[in-house]
Amino acid sequence: MTQGIGARLQRKEDARHLHGRGNFVSDMLLPGQSEVAFLRSPIAHGRIRRIVKPRGAENQVFVRNDLADVAAMVAPTTVPGYKLSEWHPLAHGKVRFVGEAIAMCVAPTRAEAEDLTEQIEVEFDELPVLVDAQAARTEPTVRVHEQWGDNLFLTLNYESGFEAKAKGAPIVIEREIALARQAMVPMEGKAVLAQWDDRSGQIIVHASTQVPHIIRVGLAQFLGIDQGQVRVISPDVGGGFGYKCILQPEELCVAWLALKFRRPFRYIEDRREHLVVGANSRQHGYRVTAHADERGKLLALDAEVTIDGGAYSAWPFTVALEPGQATGNLPGPYDFRGYRCRTYCVATNKPGFLPYRGVARTGVCFAMELVIDAIARAVGREPWEVRYDNLVSAADMPYDNVTRKHYDSGDYRKALTLAREKLDLEAWRERQRRGERDGRLIGIGFASYCEQTAHGTSVFSGWGLPIIPGYDQATVRVNPDGGLEIRAGVHSHGQGMETTLAQIAHEELGIDPAKGAGDSYLTKDFLMISIN
């Protein structure tokens, strides 16, 4: 039986995790290590009038002025109309969301560092709070960033053939759809340990991150040092989901401590901090009007999308990622040629919007599928039948949709038909007609979506990001004892990359995927996998 690509194998990384032998930032202890805690804002919007450090602990408490040599994080993009926001490592002048870091405290233990945060005195002039993106969009007086003329990070307009296709459509459906904010909640939150290494003349940063190479660039840029002075190591990571693919302000703060004091410092985000401060994403609002024919064939779609972008745009992917993906991916796997979309990304007094798994797709798919169901009800047909008629057919592949997204392959209609047959839809419909003995109502539904992939350098370059990820290296070499060593730049944060690379090695060279660092180096078919 093959053990190569596609085979079902026990994961190579599971043994160490199940036996508690993983190597996470929380497991790391270095001589002279100090722990870091942050004083976080109790209010959503207000000017900082005064900060008083605890007497006798002035050298253990740091505010923004102490980090004067650290630049604010600014995430530019070439998208027209996009407004820049400065995200300081610690609050500068005012706070813009509950939980924003105001001061950084250092002590031998986390408990002692937290005790210091409770001794700091902060005086605020509270300001009106913007909590609703629809209201903030048109608010003329209260602004998250005073230097802006409004509260809009970005406005996008896209139109292709809408008026001609919508004209005279017999079926017109209007819907308003709202999504609440969601926290990502990886098992491991933010975590960073930084130390200065005299031998290499580098800050060595162990970070729970998906993108160590990007973090290295950001740390060097905002600390004002050469990239050669920064080494970022990403050990075992307890989940990412996009939460860990940006430069976090805490990472910048802890790296500054190591650079200034030449000893190790560590910060571990607790669960409450994550839920309050972390990536609260996916808060979208949709106003959608669909135009269809008598059979439910979608002719044109008119949409207004409002995205609650929070207070800051994160480096490097920017808050512009979400509205761009929402605008382009709303049509999904459906074949229609009239489209008009206006997308607003609004600044509010909430944590900044971060990339979350399947950027914007959760919202656009939810909205689109509700609209397809509404069309089916309006024309009196089965929802799966209306989907079938609207899906891009296999005969049309490859296919460029109304927003010029390229679909290289797929038989969506066959997949839908297979799902209907496997579910035995007719039996469920009969059961619904009979009703349940206990009075329960049961339902069955269908949904279709596309996941945009292959975000390489050309895609990131087109977005105009400050750094263009997507280029990676891999080295494969045979050791003197006949073992194979694979060193890859891709990162594993829960998806089993070590097992996948071992399967590729088996597929190409016949090496047993079960071999690994726990086996004898004398074994001729030893396999070592290093993921950095």
Strand-pairing partners, residue 92, are 94
| Mean pLDDT, rounded, for 47-73 | 97
528 pLDDT tier (thresholds 50, 70, 90): low
Report all structural domains of the chain as residue ranges with CATH numbers, in order of start. Answer: 14-21+472-531 (3.30.365.10), 31-127+185-278 (3.90.1170.50), 133-183+279-420 (3.30.365.10)
496: left (phi over 0), alpha (psi -120 to 50) or beta: left
- Better-scored residue on pLDDT, 356 or 141: 141
* Each residue's pLDDT tens digit, 398-435: 999 999 999 999 999 999 999 999 999 999 999 999 99
pLDDT at site 489:
79
* Each residue's pLDDT tens digit, 438-457: 999 999 999 998 888 777 78
Mean pLDDT value across the chain? 92
Residue 471 pLDDT greater than 70, yes or no: no
Cα 55 to Cα 36: distance, rounded to the nearest angstrom: 18
Q: What single DSSP character describes residue 229? A: G
Q: Token pair for residue 341? A: 């979309």
* 337-359 burial: b if 16+ Cβ within 10 Å, else e: ebbbbbbbbbbbbbbbbbbbebb
Instruction: State the CB neighbour count (10 A cutoff) for residue 310.
Output: 29
For residue 54, give the 3-state DSSP assignment.
coil
SS (H, E, C) 278-340: CCEECCEEEEEEEEECCCCCEEEEEEEEEEEEECCCCCCCCCCHHHHHHHHHCCCCECCCEEE
Q: What single DSSP character describes residue 351? A: P
For residue 44, give the 3-state DSSP assignment.
coil
Query: 195 burial class (0-12, 13-18, 19+ CB within 10 angstroms)?
Result: buried
Q: What single DSSP character describes residue 129? A: -
pLDDT at site 530:
57
DSSP character string of 403-439 = T--EE----HHHHHHHHHHHHTHHHHHHHHHH--TT-
Cα 336 to Cα 291: distance, rounded to the nearest angstrom: 10
Residue 518 pLDDT greater than 80, yes or no: no
| Mean pLDDT, rounded, for 492-520 | 79
pLDDT at site 521:
29
| Mean pLDDT, rounded, for 168-192 | 95
Give which of 398, 355, 158 is closest to 248, Cα–Cα.
Answer: 355
Place of tokens 């900082």: 48
pLDDT at site 531:
52
pLDDT at site 469:
78
Question: Which of 57-61, 232-236, 514-518 is predicted least confidently?
Answer: 514-518
CA geometry: angle 522, 501, 16, nearest 5 deg: 70
CB 243 within 8 A of CB 186: yes
pLDDT at site 484:
85
Q: β-strands 265-268, 280-281: how paired?
A: unpaired
- Better-scored residue on pLDDT, 66 or 451: 66
Cα 101 to Cα 275: distance, rounded to the nearest angstrom: 14
Cα 309 to Cα 326: distance, rounded to the nearest angstrom: 13
460 pLDDT tier (thresholds 50, 70, 90): confident
Cα 86 to Cα 321: distance, rounded to the nearest angstrom: 17
pLDDT at site 457:
82
264 pLDDT tier (thresholds 50, 70, 90): very high
Query: 164 burial class (0-12, 13-18, 19+ CB within 10 angstroms)?
Result: exposed
pTM, two decimal places: 0.92
